[in-house]
Amino acid sequence: MNHPQTACLNADLHCHSVISDGTLEPEALAARAHANGVQLWSLTDHDEIAGQRRARDAAHALGLPYLTGVEISVTFAGTTVHIVGLGFDPDNAALAAGLVATRGGRRGRAMEMSEGLAKAGIHGAYEGALRYVGNPELISRMHFARYLIDSKVCGDAQEVFRKYLTAGKPGYVEHRWSALRDAVTWIVEAGGIAVIAHPARYKFSPSAEYALFSEFIAYGGRGVEVVTGSHSAAEAVRYADTALEFSLLGSRGSDFHSPTESHADLGSLPPLPAKLTPVWTALEDRVLLPA
């Protein structure tokens, strides 16, 4: 493969397929990653690894090295935090059971979200959102957003989230995801590396953020996303310093969901800052190479 140890490798280690809240099939994502020059790829669906085999096979058919991936929803200090797992054994039973448990509350939560929206005059949102769902176990706020946009309630996803799907708004439901300790442990015990996804998104106080990073490391977490479609250039600079401060490996991923909705396309991000150790240098023996 193309020297995975180099910081300038075009690694894209975060994206979503129809198996969670993306709009493309794993094969179409692999083709897009390859066409965009990605040299090491991972599909990281929310709370679900059912797409891993398809993603790997499609990547390998294109000669593209692959890392197993997932993005686990966690509740930490009352906030939803996402933990990306990379390079784990996809057949690990404890990880699979943990993901089943994490997915478990989504249907009931979606029905409650729909009730909240109905009180605000938007009826039938659960059934509407279901039309956009590829995996019945993985109904997400993003599917509600697509329904509300297509039914002209809102113009874009930012407006949907701002008006309806965030704390205090009619379609928002408090939800308890997995514990940070559990998510990191599932990933680590399955032989993978745990990475804090898009840290700038959480808007933690400095002390809560310090607690997140310290606890994450205490549980065995080793990486942080620095260059991601969810970060501005200034946020990437800031979290590169955080990675150094906590001796964490740096990760890079577009968080691509859809050709029409995403900030960043697969493989399109700037490189990781050269002062960081890329997470893929620690995953060399976990990279699945094409035959």
In the bound complex, what is the minimum distance in angstroms from residue 30's beta carbon to Mn ion? 17
**Of 14, 32, 103, 141, the one binding ligand AMP by CB under 6 A:** 141
> Residue 118's closest CA among 71, 56, 73, 170?
170
In the bound complex, what is the minimum distance in angstroms from residue 172's beta carbon to ligand AMP? 9
Which range touches Mn ion (CB under 5 A), out of 73-81, 163-171, 248-256, 259-267?
248-256
Q: Which is nearer to ligand AMP, 134 or 220 (CB)?
A: 134
In the bound complex, what is the minimum distance in angstroms from residue 208's beta carbon to ligand AMP? 19
**Of 45, 182, 225, 255, the one binding Mn ion by CB under 5 A:** 255
Question: Does 45 help bind Mn ion (rule: CB under 5 A)?
Answer: no
Q: Which is nearer to Mn ion, 159 or 290 (CB)?
A: 159
DSSP letters along the chain, please?
---TT-TT--EE--B--TTTT-SS-HHHHHHHHHHTT-SEE----BT--TTHHHHHHHHHHTT--B--EEEEEEEETTEEEEEEEES--TT-HHHHHHHHHHHHTHHHHHHHHHHHHHHTT--SHHHHHHTT-SSTT---HHHHHHHHHHTTS-SSHHHHIIIIISTTSTT------EEHHHHHHHHHHTT-EEEE--GGGG---HHHHHHHHHHHHHTT--EEEEEETTS-HHHHHHHHHHHHHTTPEEEEE--B--TTT-SS-TT-SPPPPTTSPBGGGG-GGG-B---
**Of 52, 73, 185, 254, the one binding ligand AMP by CB under 6 A:** 73
* Interaction pattern, residues 203-242, with ligand AMP; x per rule: CB under 6 A: ----------------------------------------
What's phi and psi for 85, nearest 5 deg? -110, 135
Supply 263's token pair. Answer: 């900030």
From residue 209, give the alpha-carbon distance in Å to each of 18, 81, 197, 201, 204: 31, 11, 13, 11, 5
Question: Does 161 help bind ligand AMP (rule: CB under 6 A)?
Answer: yes
Which range touches ligand AMP (CB under 6 A), out of 31-39, 136-144, 191-199, 279-287?
136-144
Question: Does 103 help bind ligand AMP (rule: CB under 6 A)?
Answer: no
> d(Cα 201, Cα 165) in Å, to the nearest integer?
15
Binding residues for Mn ion restricted to 138-197, rule: CB under 5 A: 197
Q: Which is nearer to ligand AMP, 46 or 56 (CB)?
A: 46
In the bound complex, what is the minimum distance in angstroms from residue 46's beta carbon to ligand AMP? 6
In the list ligand AMP, Mn ion, none, the entry touching 161 (Cβ below 5 to 8 angstroms by class) is ligand AMP
Supply 82's token pair. Answer: 């996402």
* Interaction pattern, residues 49-68, with Mn ion; x per rule: CB under 5 A: --------------------
Q: Which is nearer to ligand AMP, 161 or 280 (CB)?
A: 161
**Of 32, 82, 103, 222, the one binding Mn ion by CB under 5 A:** 82
Size of the site for Mn ion (CB under 5 A): 5
Binding site for ligand AMP (CB under 6 A): 21, 46, 73, 140-142, 157-158, 161, 257
